[in-house]
Amino acid sequence: MEPSAEGPLLRTPLTDAFGRPLRDLRVSVTDRCNFRCVYCMPKEVFGPDYAFLPRAEILTFEEIARLTAVFARLGVRKIRLTGGEPLLRRDLPTLVRMVAAVPGIEDVALTTNGALLTRLAEPLAEAGLRRVTVSLDALDDETFARMNGVGFPVARVLAGIEAAERAGLRPIKVNAVIRRGLNEHAVLDLARRFRGTGHVVRFIEYMDVGTANGWRLDDVVPAAEILAQLDRAFGLEPIPPEAPGEVATRYRYRDGAGEVGVIASVTRPFCRGCTRARVSTDGKLFTCLFASAGFDLRRLLREGATDDEIEAAIRAVWSGRRDRYSELRSRATQRRRKVEMFYIGG
């Protein structure tokens, strides 16, 4: 059957070479960041002279909204704005409003380091943002400063989380990357702080995204170790996934104090359920976080392609997709050149 032009629900379902549908879209709205996290943009590599993308190369709001509409025609219902630090993109609430208005888009979410959330939570929620994930890797300033690379204080991120709460962006997910020798003690601190609040802390295994962070397997704290710590301290039991393709494995505290999760992309890869497409700051389509190259959607947009032509291009890329990097991870795959997380959108 030919795909119909009448609406997203009537089109031929799009699946990749392993039968995985395209469900979620992540867009990196800027490659810049006000932090220099050791695991993402270490300050030794991303110093004052680092050349970020010039403005003309970055997708405009209109281009992002147009791509979102084409992705929605292909079955995408959820969009997450990320980066870099998305709150550094000027007028971000305007973009939220534009993508929230796209027919078919049911959920607009954001991942942020929280530094500017106190000022922006309210306008973002008003514009149609539904959910926010705030990254926070420790609760003591000394460790957090070592993680974020710029000495940013914990209290200001916590104030951002409170502002998001007040703006109705609940429940909040709090992401913490745990790196061996740096912040293992933050596991119990963060769990204790957010138990009973309704917010969900998710502990992320340190991943070999990009090449700048100098990743070593020895620096990964396996999810099993994190879970054992939590279980000893509070008692945990597993709970089923909320939605298909969910990357976090969910647990609840036995005493009813809420939920916690781990994202174990190194020790328990979840490529089989991976339904995410990513669009980089300059409009390249990536079908895996660990890819080396993407498909240039910006060129199509700027050369006057029609929506149908852009849709056909995305279909072709997705239907040929065979990515399963984490399942195949080895010394050889790690040495491959890979794009950086702040550019592709974490």
Strands (E), the chain: 24-28, 78-82, 107-112, 131-135, 173-178, 200-205, 236-239, 249-253, 259-263, 276-279, 284-286, 295-296
Residue 191 binds ligand SAM, judged by CB under 6 A:
no
User: Which residues 6+ apart lie within 8 Å of 201 measured at CB?
Assistant: 173, 174, 176, 190, 191, 194, 260, 261
x/- mask, ligand SF4, residues 114-153, rule CB under 6 A, reads ---------------------x------------------
CA dist 155 to 35, 86, 152, Å?
15, 20, 9
Closest CA to 132 of 209, 37, 199, 207: 199
Q: Does 187 bind ligand SF4 (CB under 6 A)?
A: no
Asked if 111 is part of the footprint of ligand SAM (rule: CB under 6 A), the reply reads yes
* 164 sits near ligand SF4 (criterion: CB under 6 A): no
Residue (191 or 209) nearer to ligand SF4, CB: 209
Question: Which is nearer to ligand SF4, 84 or 160 (by Cβ)?
Answer: 84
The nearer residue to ligand SF4, 68 or 111, going by C-beta atoms, is: 111
* Contact of residue 209 among ligand SF4, ligand SAM, none (CB under 5-8 Å per partner type): ligand SAM
d(CA 251, CA 231): 10
Question: What type of residue sits at position 101?
Answer: A
Q: Which does 274 bind (CB under 5 to 8 A by kind): ligand SF4, ligand SAM, none?
A: ligand SF4
253 binds ligand SF4 (CB under 6 A): no
Considering only 30, 68, 82, 280, the residue that binds ligand SAM (CB under 6 A) is 82
Cβ neighbours around 74 below 10 Å, total: 22
Nearer of residues 114 and 283 to ligand SF4, judged by Cβ: 114
Q: Which stretch binds ligand SAM (CB under 6 A): 119-127, 203-211, 237-245, 252-260?
A: 203-211
Nearest residue to ligand SAM, using CB? 346
Please pick, from the candidates 143, 183, 213, 281, the single residue that binds ligand SAM as defined by CB under 6 A.
213
> Cα separation of 17 and 3, whole Å?
19
Q: Is 209 in the site for ligand SAM (CB under 6 A)?
A: yes
- With binding defined as CB under 6 A, does residue 41 bind ligand SF4? yes
SS3 content of the chain, % helix, strand, coil (to 5): 35, 15, 45
325 lies in the site for ligand SF4, by CB under 6 A: yes
Task: Tell me how many residues contact ligand SF4 (CB under 6 A).
Answer: 23
Interhelix angle 141-148/154-166, rounded to 10 degrees, is: 90
- Please identify which residue in 206, 270, 295, 318 interacts with ligand SAM, judged by CB under 6 A: 206
- Dump the DSSP string for 31-86: S--S---TTTS-TTTS-TT-----GGGSPPHHHHHHHHHHHHHTT--EEEEESS-G
- Return the number of the residue (161 or 301) whose C-beta is nearest ligand SF4: 161
Binding site for ligand SAM (CB under 6 A): 33, 39-40, 82-83, 85, 111-113, 135, 175, 177, 204, 206-207, 209, 213, 341-342, 346
